[in-house]
Structure formats: structure tokens, C-alpha cells
A and B are shown apart, each in its own frame.
Chain A
Amino acid sequence: MRRIILGCAAVCAVQLILISLLVFILSELMPGDALTGRISPSITGERLREMRGQMGFDRPWGARYASWLSGIFKGDFGVSFSHKLPVAQLVGEKFGNTLLLGAFSFLICYALSVSFGVIAGRYRGSWPDRAVSSGSYALMSIPQAVLGILAIFIFGYTLKWLPPGGSVDSGVLGPLALIMSRLRHLILPALTQLVRGEVAAGQEAEYILSLRSRGVAPSRVFWAHILRNSLIPAMSLSGSYLAALLGGTALVETIFSYPGIGKLFVDSVLKRDYPTANFILLLTAFMAAAGTLLSDIIMNRLDPRIKML
């Protein structure tokens, strides 16, 4: 187990370095730099060169990348160009927000998808099954921005859960919108149908028939055997779902001005603040890798057939 985790970490490290290199090159290819758009048009060429020199932009990108990379290994992630703050501190503040939202919507989504999947699978062909299937497909086909606006309408306008006075506090709306848009991502064919299929197939498995033929109580057959075995695939996906939730927040956070790393990332790219953008990308890639590893570990725990060593 230890060896596997170390091996995976090594692979991830290489991947992360490649990703960061790619990001560095891409930000190099974009027109302009962190100074573009922040300087007055009347500035002299002399002064501009001086400023660029101060920020190190006169050095070739390879050299800048090398010093950025060596800084990372020393735990120094650089200083944000636009916020003039250490990147780690800047991102750290926002990361908590994203993590909280991600974890919360993950729990809601998982609970809903799994319950719906179980109900649909248990009563396959019945009306609850049809409702779940068509509902999840419908949800999937709605764009997440529309769902977000719908969330504002429902929670902010109709239910009035938000501060009165007509002021739209986007900081509060963000979470709701984000969760709504995540529902689209998770309560769908992907997870719901997976669970549904597993439960439905599980009910017809020979070992289930065999338990029933021995007069084992139906509730016990369902909870201890059908359900337990059909949740393994869903559980094994949880790590990567969690990672995907944390990673794919840029759009929603931006639309609803939620102070998380997704919005910070978009802002940083727009401002050519590549130390920040690069660090967020690294963090997201790291989360994705960690999520996948987590899935493998969970899978290994739940299903003895999968041996990692």
C-alpha cells in the first residue's frame, strides 16, 4: 500500500511539473503581461522597461520558470502580481471557501443520487423509476448558469431565504447556485444510473435468489447483500467526483462572485497574474490526483478482489 501511494505520488509530481510548464508557456504566448492594462498610456518606454525589470519580465521565460519551480521546492510559491501577497496565503484564504462548498454539494449530490438510484433500481420499471430517470436526464440537459439563476429565483426571490431589501448578496447566493449547478453534475445518468443498474442487476443475481430460497428476510437480503454490493462502484467513484467538484468551479464562482479559488483563477488569468493562476492549477491538479488515489484506496478496502499490491 505504501509503495503504491509513493509510486502514485511520483507520477503525480511529474504530471504536475508538466502541467505547470504548459501553463507557463501558455501564459507566455498570451499577448501582454501583468503590466498591460495597469499602466497609463502616457508612460515612457524607459519607465516601462524599468518596471518590467523590477518584476523580472526582462529575463527569458525559461529562466523565470526555473526560478519559479525551484521556489516551489523550497515551499515558496511566489508573490501575486496583482494582489502583492504571497500566493500561498492568497489562495489559502479562498481555498477554504471552495473546499467547504465542494464538500457540501458533494454530500448532497451523493446522498440524492444514491438514494434515487437505489429506489429506481429496487422498483425497476415502476413510476418512481421512470420519474428518476427522466428527472436526471432533464437536469443534465439544463445549463448550469440557468440552474444558478433558477436558484436565485427560488431561494432569493420566492422563498426569501436571503437578506430582504432587494439586495442580492452574491456571497450568499453563490453557495446555493453552486450546489444547484453541481446537482446537474452528479444527479444524473452517471451516478444515479450506475447505482440503479447495480441494484437492479443485484436483485437478479443467483446468490440473491439463493439467499431468498433459504428464507432469509427480504430486508436483510436487500440491505446486507444487494445494497452493500451495488454501492461499491459508486463509492469507488467518490474520490474523483470530489476532485471534479473542487476543480470545476471556475464558471459558477465567477458568475455568482463567490470568493473561491475558481473565481480567483479566472481573475488571475485575466490579469496575467501567472504565479497565482499557476499555483491554483497545480492545486487543482493535485486534488484530482489525490481524489483518484482516494478512490483506489476506497475501492481496495471495499472490494477484496482488487488487490493493489
Chain B
Amino acid sequence: MNPPLLAVSGISVAYKRGLSSKYSVQAVRGVSFSAWRGRTLGLIGESGSGKSSALNAVAGLVKPIAGEIIFDGKPVGKRRPGMSMIFQSGAIDPKMRIADVVAEPLRNHKRMPAKDERAAVIKLLEMVGLPSAFMERLPWELSGGQLQRAGIARALALRPSLLLADEPVTALDPDAKEQILDLLARLIKEFRMACVFVTHDLEAARYLCDAFCIMQNGEIVERGGVYRIFNEPQQAYTKLLLESGAVCAG
């Protein structure tokens, strides 16, 4: 197999609380996983199991206290332009017009004439299925699904090779959820992105992912292909998760 785009090995994440200078919460304990282009890895686990913390460490939002993150063959630096992250909501500043939202990464990374920028924004909106008329709108004039699309358009602006997704469909109604999952699957294939998909929604995970890491209490307790995890779960915790997720094996 060719080398992974992202190789995370033995990272730990801990938080301080209040005034103390000591780490009081250990959210992630020595977790390793890899992601390949064109494939989606699911980080699955119950609330508080450390999924977001692990993902945030990859994105550079928290500094891991131990471990190593190799991206595109090199240890990650402070800036990680090859990665893009999407969130539960569109993660959009409530006062920014959609055009500015989508153009923001472009403006931060390279200067281009206004005309080119506009064309780029229209193209990005089109990619995620939003009409260009939405450019002038403000976030509150969009539905949850449309906001998520705008967030995805912004994430694609710099043509990332790694997409980090933290519960991107959890807050959506079933229709919108299905559409966004379809869109993500299509974009991941089209741009050959690697994707790390964090969720506790097994149905969504099964739809999008090729492989799973099951997290419990800051550790990965089981990993494997989707088919194997669903049909032959090894760990009691995984079985419990599958049962509570009410997803029938198939």
C-alpha cells in the first residue's frame, strides 16, 4: 500500500482546568491512526470519548502533549493549509455575507483580483450545489443544510488534500443529512481527498466511511473495515455501540 497522507502516532491530548497549571483532564491517550487519499476514516465513539480532541489535534486547534502527526510525508507545522475542517454547523460568522465567507480562505492565502475572486466563489458554491444568488445573503437567511454547504464550499476553497469533519451532519434533519453525506462522498471521490470523519452517528458513518476506529475513554479500542466492524465486532464496547446505534448489520 502507498504511504498514508496522514499518519498520527501515539498522540495524547490533555486539558488544564481553571487556574491550575496541571493537566486535569486527559481526553486522548496515545492514539494512532492513518488516512489515505480518496478514503474516509471514521472516528466513532460516545460523547466525551475524545473524538473531537483527537481531530482538533490534527487540525492544530489543540497542541498534543505527546505523539507525532505526519502529514504529506512531513511533521506538521503551525500552519496546515493542506487540511480543511468542517464542523457541526456551517461555522460561519453571523455577520458575514456568504460571498465573504467563502472567499475568506482565498483572501488569507493569495491575493487575486476581485473579478477572479468572484468567479472562484461562484464556482465553489456551484460545487456544493448553492446558487450564486446566495452570495449576497447573510447566514441567518440560509437553512441548516445550506449553511453546511457554504461551510463545505469554504473548506474546499484552497483545494485541501485532507478533510477533517467533526459531526458535520449531526445537527441536520434526515433529508439534509442524506444530501450532505452524498455531497461529501462525491467531493471526496472527485478531489481524491483523505477524510477523517468524527461522529457518534453509526448510520452516517457507515454510509461515508471505509474504515472505523472505535474510541472509548480517549483510546482506540477497536479498528477495522466497516464491514468487519459491523458484522464481527470483537469488543464488547463496540457491540454495545452497535446495538445502541440501532443499526442492523448488513
Question: What is the minimal beta-carbon distance from B28 to any residue of chain A, in angstroms?
Answer: 17
Q: Which residues 178-228 in A have Cβ within 8 Å of B in the complex?
A: 206-207, 209-216, 225, 228
Please tell me if the beta carbons of B85 and A213 are within 8 angstroms of each other in the complex: yes
Please tell me if the beta carbons of A206 and B93 are within 8 angstroms of each other in the complex: no
Contact of B87 among A210, A216, A229, A303 (CB under 8 A): A210
List B contacts of A215 (CB < 8 A). Answer: 60, 78-81, 108
Please tell me if the beta carbons of B140 and A305 are within 8 angstroms of each other in the complex: yes
Please tell me if the beta carbons of A209 and B93 are within 8 angstroms of each other in the complex: no
* 28 A–B contacts from the bound complex (CB under 8 Å): A125-B17, A125-B18, A126-B19, A127-B19, A207-B89, A207-B90, A207-B91, A207-B92, A207-B93, A207-B94, A209-B91, A210-B85, A210-B86, A210-B92, A210-B151, A211-B93, A213-B59, A213-B84, A214-B84, A214-B108, A215-B60, A215-B79, A215-B80, A215-B108, A216-B104, A225-B93, A303-B95, A305-B140
Question: What is the minimal beta-carbon distance from B83 to any residue of chain A, in angstroms?
Answer: 8
**Chain A interface (Cβ within 8 Å of chain B)?**
125-127, 206-207, 209-216, 225, 228-229, 303-305
Please tell me if the beta carbons of B78 and A229 are within 8 angstroms of each other in the complex: no
Q: Nearest residue in A to B89 (C-beta to C-beta)?
A: A206
Question: What is the minimal beta-carbon distance from A83 to any residue of chain B, in angstroms?
Answer: 52
List B contacts of A229 (CB < 8 A). Answer: 93-95
Please tell me if B146 contacts chain A, counting CB pairs below 8 Å. no
A209–B151 Cα distance when bound, in Å, is 13
A206-B91, A207-B91 are contacts. A125–B19 as well, Cβ < 8 Å?
yes
Q: Nearest residue in B to A127 (C-beta to C-beta)?
A: B19
List B contacts of A213 (CB < 8 A). Answer: 59-61, 83-85, 164
Q: Mark B141-168, 1 if CB is under 8 A from A, else 0.
A: 0000000000100000000000010000
A207–B87 Cα distance when bound, in Å, is 9
List A contacts of B95 (CB < 8 A). Answer: 228-229, 303-304
Question: What is the minimal beta-carbon distance from B124 to any residue of chain A, in angstroms?
Answer: 14
A125–B85 Cα distance when bound, in Å, is 28
List A contacts of B94 (CB < 8 A). Answer: 207, 229, 305
List A contacts of B105 (CB < 8 A). Answer: 214
List A contacts of B60 (CB < 8 A). Answer: 213, 215
List A contacts of B84 (CB < 8 A). Answer: 213-214
A215–B85 Cα distance when bound, in Å, is 11
Q: Nearest residue in B to A214 (C-beta to C-beta)?
A: B105
A58–B72 Cα distance when bound, in Å, is 97
Question: What is the minimal beta-carbon distance from A223 to any residue of chain B, in angstroms?
Answer: 13
